[in-house]
Amino acid sequence: MTSVEVREDQWNIPWVGNQTSSALHLVTPTEMEELRNALMKTKLPSDLEIKLRSLAQGSLLHQSVEQNCRLFTSLLLAAEQSSFNEASRADLDRLLRVLAYVRKENDAISDFKPNGFVDDQQEVRAATNELRVLLRHFKDWRLRTQVPDLWTSHLRASV
């Protein structure tokens, strides 16, 4: 069997299609557990929070990764608090694994390299495609339950 060499410039091609994720195996059980424990305390680890803030200031690709990671986090927190119960354990583990992957600096394409977030974006996109129905239900649930509470809290604070 011969090996195939992949040049870094091949990663410049935007990801398309419904390819299955292949780099999530790089996330260790320890990384999953650390992230799970942080989320149980209802906060992101500081390194992931800093990374997401940085992504929010970047290109549309970077902003997409950041926004979807925040959505995944909100869903995981709501499930942890037992207020959103539509996600299976497998769905939650998938989202947690993607977040742990995005958290990694040295993954399939190290984040410091040119196009270093393309692989992160691929993993996020694969998860959003795979779990699109669940994510839609979560967004609908959040609009019905959390937004009215936020609005009421805002009104009380301004009085």
**pLDDT at position 146:** 72
Residue 14 carries which DSSP code?
Answer: P
Q: Report the distance separating Cα 110 and Cα 107, nearest Å.
A: 5
Q: At residue 33, does pLDDT exceed 60?
A: yes
Domain ranges of the chain: 24-158
**Of 121, 111, 115, 122, nearest to 51 (Cα)?**
111
Give the pLDDT band of residue 155 (cuts 50, 70, 90): low
Q: At residue 148, does pLDDT exceed 90?
A: no
**Of 75, 91, 93, 97, nearest to 22 (Cα)?**
97
**pLDDT at position 31:** 95
- Output Rg (C-alpha) for the chain, integer angstroms: 17
Give the pLDDT band of residue 42 (cuts 50, 70, 90): confident
